[in-house]
Copies of this chain bind each other. A is one copy, B any other.
């Protein structure tokens, strides 16, 4: 009765959703860099062109996103929903993103956290992706009948800002201490020049990763928040915890 996952290529593709062109980079870019360096394919789905932001035109922001994804070794596509600052939680959106999941067939999915007190698009996209991951495996959804159901392995949330970190989930910390990983991530954030120049976003994220690293006794770390309890065959991979001070 063991669940066999053989049909999935190893390591399975990582699929990250972002509400705006820079959310993935600021929220979990270091993890992406770490994973693609280890040979895992990563794909970004961006659900607006950031057209409501104070800085940067949509055209410029799309270009920044393409450059940034390339720096992280990820592919990228845009899937428009309601537009920046206009996103609503609609069943049709979840079905649309479920179709993306069926097409891309990821192992792990990343989405912005569900914490309400952040940019309203973030939490809403998180809820839509959570629903999409479920609908992707239901056989009878009429709009999706052309593509076979797909069951993802796990859904993790990332927090674009510290305020968005969920307090009711124990995170897992990914050690991104390799200098090349930090450098690639930093470059990817800086590629969003229209945003990075307006406020101290890059410094904020590096300080956040450095603080987590210091707590774990390493250089830098980023947190991901699992939607469901992780299942493992052994404690071997889980023998290190973040408690240094």
Cα separation A236 to B41 with both chains bound (whole Å): 12
Residue of B nearest to A34 (CB): B234
Residue of B11, B90, B172, B229 near A229 (CB, 8 A) is B172
Q: Hey, what's the 0/1 contact readout for A32-48 against B, CB within 8 Å counting as 1?
A: 00110010100000000
Interface presence of A199 (CB below 8 A): yes
A166 to chain B, nearest CB (A): 10
Interchain CB contact under 8 A, A207 and B211 = yes
Residue of B54, B173, B229 near A140 (CB, 8 A) is B54
Interchain CB contact under 8 A, A138 and B54 = yes
A52-B142 contact given A88-B90, A116-B130, A208-B211, CB 8 Å threshold: yes
Interface residues contributed by chain A, number (CB under 8 Å) = 105
Interface presence of A146 (CB below 8 A): no
Report 5 cross-chain contacts, Cβ distance below 8 Å, ordered by A residue.
A88-B90, A91-B120, A117-B228, A162-B215, A216-B231
Q: Given known contacts A82-B91, A169-B170, what 18 new A-B pairs fall within 8 Å (CB)?
A: A1-B218, A35-B234, A38-B234, A84-B140, A107-B239, A117-B228, A120-B134, A154-B240, A162-B215, A163-B245, A170-B229, A174-B231, A174-B235, A211-B211, A221-B231, A228-B241, A230-B238, A237-B237
